[in-house]
Amino acid sequence: MVTRVYVPKDSTALSLGADEVVAALRKAKAPIEIIRTGTRGMLWLEPLVEVETSAGRIAYGPVSADDVPGLLAAGLLTGASHALRIGKPEDHPYLKTQQRLTFARVGIVDPSSVEDYIAHGGYRGLERALTMAPADIVKTVADSGLRGRGGAAFPTGIKWKTVLDQNEPQKYVTCNADEGDSGTFADRMLIEGDPLTLVEGMTIAGLAVNATMGYVYLRVEYPEAIDTLRAAIAAAYKAGYLGASIKGSGKCFDLSVRVAAGAYVCGEETSMLESLEGRRGEVRVRPPLPAIKGLFGKPTIVNNVISLASVPVILERGADFYKNFGVGRSMGTLPIQLAGNLKQGGLVERAFGVTLREVLYDYGGGSASGRPIRTIQMGGPLGAYIPPSDFDTPIDYEALAAVGALVGHGGIVAFDDTVDMAKMARYAFEFCAVESCGKCTPCRIGSTRGANLIDNLLAGNKPAEQRALLEGLCDTMLQGSLCGLGGMTPFPVQSAMKHFPEDFAPRGRH
Amino acid sequence: MSIVEANEVEQAAVESALQRFGQEPGPLLVVLHAVQDHLGYIPTTSIPAIAERLNLSRAEVHGVLTFYHHFRTHPQGRRVVQICRAEACQARGGEALEAHAKQCLGVDYHGTTADGGTTLEAIYCMGNCATGPSIRIDGKLHSHVTAARFDKLMATRGTH
Ligand SMILES: Cc1cc2nc3c(=O)[nH]c(=O)nc-3n(C[C@H](O)[C@H](O)[C@H](O)COP(=O)(O)O)c2cc1C
Ligand code: SF4
Ligand code: FES
């Protein structure tokens, strides 16, 4: 009998030697079939090898190529005990308490197999959508309470309704997979682990607004994801789920991947549209909204990967099902990404309302270094630094806003007490200077000036004056920037100065 | 390769990219990617041809080429090392790795070692943020890159 063995080809797993593990497994005497999957999201356990047994899938991890002969000898293929044996992955405390709706199949299925996708419940949302009028699809998404997961948290249903209402024969669905925020990898993990969920979500979006063409704008820094998504799209075409007549319905949807070129600002939606049109990624002045005049001047949906990938489950199980997760105006689930200095980094999909402390300590296991966590940054490089005194804040849009922080794309970067907050504030300015599209002066010039002011401040060069200048600069950037890059760079800077003033005291030269 | 032959290789790459992707809507980035994937860089001498065939001004093509960090107009070393500079890798010791790599190679970012062997590049997040510091060497991603591991990776893969 052939034993099935599952090994991720998620890029984090690859970076930890998953291909080498596969090569070692191929030397097994017993007949095995190796299936490459995404990751379950317990990244500290990668490479996580799973074996199909009569009792279900049994996991071992982290496995190195050198461990493989010993594992095989110990009875890996029958799920026998071993120091690296984890047991059933779904029983692991990290996964057991999660609420995986969007990530339900990630780490389980073969990402490029339509058959496997359908066997695990895929395409049920699309099947329902094919029987519905566009306005009803839009209403279902609106009723679900889904808000954009890319950062701005705008209600997805309202955006779709605007596009639907435009009387234009040509419309587009675009997916923002530029995922530039440090500490975020949910888009990558979904695309590498279950890309057909994104394909299905975009197809449903096309049906909802009568758009027949979709583009995924995907980060060039993610070569593995580019390959996986392209393979999945090809498989969907082959199986009749994309193209001129989706499953014989007479409705058309085409989908193509466009590779970005390493500019952070191109994650801003209008900059992304410029880039998709083949131009410099300079931010457009709004209005008009992309929903009215977007790609090539046509009405366009711009949504993040996770927003679109949440649509299939909403269509399949209904708006009420989805809405019943979460709290207040933050409905549904959020894939929280635990990054930086944490013992158990990975992806935790939970309903909104779980606290920062729970995710950092119950899931994250505290710092990787064993030192106290001094601060976290949530929401990417434009997110505020949050002190431990705010760790009991629930993760929901309004509660985080109340402490001056943001959900953003749901990434959390933890720092231990060796972090130098003045350095982090300086880095925020530096990053803004590197990535500014150059359209507004406060962002283009102010960012470099900000880094210099911090240098002067630390050098003890009239510190009170530098501090006042810094405050003034932050205000100018907040007020005078066209987009969030210039307009939000003050958030990490000001929060670092507010919560960690001791790090900004003048320093002796060393 | 002689200069004439090198020019022919460049022209062929540009021609092939234009043929394959010139008809796409908004094709410039797609074409530039294809050229760079093929040659490893985008020769500035190709700007006039690309501009003419895509019905753009040379300034537009040049503007796009210089806007995006990914595009480059010169060949890189035989080996390319990309180090993540972003926050989550910094939180795991990325800064020490950056300093170590610069010192070992004797170059700063965008620099190539004197023998033309290795080019060092900064990169801002590869989505490998839970197991940093992260680097790519010739496209292959690595996690937990301490200074010692960096030395080992450079030694084992170092066949320049
Ligand atoms: C500087 C900047 C970078 C951004 N980067 C991204 C990104 O990488 N991915 C993303 O989905 N949204 C990003 N956004 C937000 C987008 O502008 C936009 O709100 C989002 O793509 C809309 O999709 P959603 O409603 O599904 O979230 C960025 C915004 C700014 C200002
Ligand atoms: S704030 Fe910066 S990145 Fe945004 S539009 Fe202005 S210059 Fe461009
Ligand atoms: S911050 Fe380095 S890979 Fe994301």
CATH of A114-322, one of 3.30.70.260, 3.30.420.40, 3.40.50.11540, 1.10.260.40: 3.40.50.11540
How far away, in angstroms, is B71 Cα from ligand 3 center? 21
**Atom 14 of ligand 1, residue of closest alpha carbon:** A268
Q: Hey, what CATH class is A421-504 in? A: mainly alpha
Q: Which of B28, B33, B91 is the closest to A341 by Cβ?
A: B91
Which atom of ligand 3 lies at the shortest distance from residue A413's CA? 1
Q: What's the CA gap between A401 and B37, in Å, rounded?
A: 43
Q: What's the CA gap between B119 and B79, in Å, rounded?
A: 6
Yes or no, beta carbons of A337 and B130 under 8 Å apart: yes
Q: Hey, what CATH class is B79-156 in? A: alpha beta
Q: What's the CA gap between A177 and A493, in Å, rounded?
A: 27
What local confidence, expressed as pLDDT, does residue B156 receive?
82
Yes or no, beta carbons of B91 and A188 under 8 Å apart: no
A306, A208 in Cβ contact below 8 A? Answer: no
A365, A371 in Cβ contact below 8 A? Answer: no
pLDDT tens digits in sequence order for chain A, 510 residues long: 899 999 999 999 999 999 999 999 999 999 999 999 999 999 999 999 999 999 999 999 999 999 999 999 999 999 999 999 999 999 999 999 999 999 999 999 999 999 999 999 999 999 999 999 999 999 999 999 999 999 999 999 999 999 999 999 999 999 999 999 999 999 999 999 999 999 999 999 999 999 999 999 999 999 999 999 999 999 999 999 999 999 999 999 999 999 999 999 999 999 999 999 999 999 999 999 999 999 999 999 999 999 999 999 999 999 999 999 999 999 999 999 999 999 999 999 999 999 999 999 999 999 999 999 999 999 999 999 999 999 999 999 999 999 999 999 999 999 999 999 999 999 999 999 999 999 999 999 999 999 999 999 999 999 999 999 999 999 999 999 999 999 999 999 999 999 999 999 998 754
Q: Which of A14, A15, A258 is the closest to B30 by Cβ?
A: A258
Here the tokens at position A161 are 């309704």
DSSP string, B1-15: --HHHHHHHHHHHHH
What local confidence, expressed as pLDDT, does residue B2 receive?
79
Q: Could you tell me the CA-to-CA distances from B1 to A88, A308, B5, B8, B35 in Å, in that order?
A: 57, 49, 6, 10, 19
What local confidence, expressed as pLDDT, does residue B157 receive?
58
Which atom of ligand 3 lies at the shortest distance from residue B133's CA? 2
Which atom of ligand 3 lies at the shortest distance from residue B129's CA? 4
Yes or no, beta carbons of B130 and A338 under 8 Å apart: yes
Which atom of ligand 1 lies at the shortest distance from residue A147's CA? 25
Q: Which of B64, B88, B142 is the closest to A279 by Cβ?
A: B64
Q: Of B158, B38, B110, B130, nearest to A262 (Cα)?
A: B110
Instruction: Please tell me if the CB atom of residue A489 comes closer than 6 angstroms to any atom of ligand 1.
Output: no
In this predicted structure, the answer to whether residue B86 has a pLDDT above a threshold of 80 is yes
Number of H helices, E strands in chain B: 7, 4
At residue A299, φ and ψ (nearest 5 deg) are -55, 130
Yes or no, beta carbons of A345 and B130 under 8 Å apart: yes
Q: Is the pTM of this model over 0.95?
A: yes
Compare all CA atoms of chain A with the CA of B26 and give the residue at the minimum distance. A277
Instruction: From A273, A283, A444, give the residue whose CB has the most ligand 2 atoms within 8 Å, as the site to mutate.
Output: A283
How far away, in angstroms, is B105 Cα from ligand 1 center? 37
A378, A408 in Cβ contact below 8 A? Answer: yes
How far away, in angstroms, is A177 Cα from ligand 1 center? 9
CATH fold, domain A325-416, is: Ubiquitin-like (UB roll) (3.10.20)
Yes or no, beta carbons of B92 and A277 under 8 Å apart: no
For residues B52-80, give the mean pLDDT.
Answer: 97
Which atom of ligand 3 lies at the shortest distance from residue A340's CA? 1
A332, A103 in Cβ contact below 8 A? Answer: no
- Judged by its nearest atom, the ligand closest to the C-alpha of residue A447 is 2
What local confidence, expressed as pLDDT, does residue B5 receive?
79
Q: What's the CA gap between B119 and B98, in Å, rounded?
A: 14
Compare all CA atoms of chain A with the CA of B65 and give the residue at the minimum distance. A280
Per-domain residue ranges of chain A: 3-96, 114-322, 325-416, 421-504
- A21: helix, strand or coil: helix
Here the tokens at position B43 are 């020769």
pLDDT averaged over every residue in chain B: 94
Instruction: From A159, A172, A222, A268, give the residue whose CB has the most ligand 1 atoms within 8 Å, as the site to mutate.
Output: A268
User: Measured between beta carbons, which residues in chain A are less than 8 angstroms from residue B132?
Assistant: 340
How many CB atoms are located within 10 Å of the residue A367 CB? 22
Instruction: Please tell me if the CB atom of residue A304 comes closer than 6 angstroms to any atom of ligand 1.
Output: yes
Instruction: Please tell me if the CB atom of residue A483 comes closer than 6 angstroms to any atom of ligand 2.
Output: yes
In this predicted structure, the answer to whether residue B160 has a pLDDT above a threshold of 60 is no
Compare all CA atoms of chain A with the CA of B125 and give the residue at the minimum distance. A182
H helix runs in chain B, sequence order: 3-21, 28-39, 47-53, 58-67, 87-90, 94-105, 147-157
CATH 3.65.10.10 at A3-96, yes or no:
no
CA distance A28 to chain B (A): 26
Instruction: Please tell me if the CB atom of residue A221 comes closer than 6 angstroms to any atom of ligand 3.
Output: no
Q: What's the CA gap between A331 and A126, in Å, rounded?
A: 22
Q: Which of A221, A259, A427 is the closest to B125 by Cβ?
A: A221
Per-domain residue ranges of chain B: 3-67, 79-156
Compare all CA atoms of chain B with the CA of A264 and give the residue at the minimum distance. B124
**Atom 1 of ligand 2, residue of closest alpha carbon:** A486
pLDDT in tens, B65-76: 999 999 999 999
What local confidence, expressed as pLDDT, does residue B159 receive?
46
Yes or no, beta carbons of B91 and A340 under 8 Å apart: yes
User: Measured between beta carbons, which residues in chain A are less than 8 angstroms from residue B135?
Assistant: none
Q: Which of A221, A261, A275 is the closest to B71 by Cβ?
A: A261
pLDDT in tens, B8-34: 999 999 999 999 999 999 999 999 999
Yes or no, beta carbons of A278 and B141 under 8 Å apart: no
Yes or no, beta carbons of A12 and B90 under 8 Å apart: no
B124, A264 in Cβ contact below 8 A? Answer: yes
H helix runs in A210-266, sequence order: 223-238
Instruction: Please tell me if the CB atom of residue A436 comes closer than 6 angstroms to any atom of ligand 2.
Output: yes
In this prediction the ipTM stands at: 0.96
